Amino acid sequence: MASSSFSHKRSFSDFQRETPAVSKKVYDAFINHRGPDVKETLAFALYDSLEEKECRTFLDDMELELGDSIPSAIQNAIYSSAVQIAIFSPRYAESSWCLDELVLMLETKARFIPIFCDVKPFELRYLDKGVYAAAFAKHEEKGRFGDDMIGQWKTALHSSSLISGYEFNTSNE
């Protein structure tokens, strides 16, 4: 019976969205990304480059310690970062964690820098078709997330698309 408490996988959105009591900026930058897409490439390279320039940067694999509550640690890092960086990749919207982090990042009103990796900014505005359409159809189909949550994600993506950022194309085209 005790093992059933471990079978329910909680998502980042299961935790309350309360502003943590963070009085000072602990991190210079927070990097939001979908791990399977860009962690081993762009996210690690960006982290290393920022750290080399003595910018204290939060990247989950590099900063989380054993025993940390992942949602709490991420939320605290978001609220205690001076700059928020989101790396949008083709499968980014499949991750409810990424989308929840994005909403929080934009709520902080900190400087926000989008990086568009193999996606174009306009693709974040047209979510009923294009690169993120299948991910949102799946989120809506599962019924795991309410209309309010999905609406917040879509608004955050749309807002992000209107902010000047960097574009990268990793193909040889």
Q: Where are the beta strands (DSSP E) in the chain?
A: 27-32, 57-58, 81-88, 111-117, 166-168
Q: Among this protein's residues, is 101 annotated catalytic?
A: yes
CB of 136 closer than 8 Å to CB of 143: no
CA distance 13 to 21: 19
Burial environment of residue 150 by CB neighbours within 10 A (0 to 12, 13 to 18, 19 or more): middle
**Residue linked to tokens 């996988």:** 9
Active-site residue (options: 63, 94, 101, 123):
101
The tokens describing 103, both together, are 């909403």
Burial environment of residue 90 by CB neighbours within 10 A (0 to 12, 13 to 18, 19 or more): middle
CA distance 57 to 111: 14
Enumerate the active-site residues. Answer: 101
